[in-house]
Amino acid sequence: MNIQSCITIINEWDIVAARQLGRNVAKELGFGTVDQARITTAISELARNIYLYAGKGQICIDKLSEGGKAGLQIKAVDSGPGIREIRQVMEDGFSTSGGLGAGLPGVKRLMDEFYIDSTPGQGTQIKATKWLR
């Protein structure tokens, strides 16, 4: 059974709301403090990408239960400009915003599973999962 809740990201305050939701769900599921920090940070990065690049989108937090394993999935969906060179944005140090370039490769390292799908002109969908050990 999957339980989902979503936050619409339009402004900076929604980034705070999204990571608070994620932290609460992570706590509920029994993740330790380090994994809670990983999940919160990953949500913050994904929500900020939506805010900076797409202007509007959604962060959904799913509780996953699969073959006796429990986990948390972050889904970041937007209908912004999309990413033309996915391979390039998955390289460390690549940034178009003048940030630290930690973005997506960082999120991938923080989580156990990472999936990205993007179509230029249509938007981006990212799923990142952390399993309870």
Partner 1 sequence: MRIPILKLDDCLLVSIQWELDDQTALQFQEDLLQKIHETSSNGVVIDLTSIDFIDSFIAKVLGDVISMSKLMGAIVVLTGIQPAVAITLIELGIGLDDVLTALDLEKGLEKLQQELGE
List residues near partner 1 by CB under 8 A. Answer: 12-13, 15-16, 19-20, 33-34, 36-38, 40-41, 44-45, 48, 92, 99-103, 105-106, 109-110
CA distance 59 to 97: 21
* Cα R_g (the chain), whole angstroms: 14
Q: What is the nearest approach in angstroms of partner 1 to the Cβ of residue 103?
A: 7
Nearer CB in complex with partner 1: 43/64: 43
Q: What is the nearest approach in angstroms of partner 1 to the Cβ of residue 21?
A: 13
| Residues contacting residue 34 through CB under 8 Å, at least 6 positions apart | none
CA distance 18 to 22: 6
Nearer CB in complex with partner 1: 55/65: 55
Task: Write the single-letter amino acid at 10.
Answer: I
Q: What is the nearest approach in angstroms of partner 1 to the Cβ of residue 122?
A: 26
Nearer CB in complex with partner 1: 3/10: 10
CA distance 38 to 80: 26
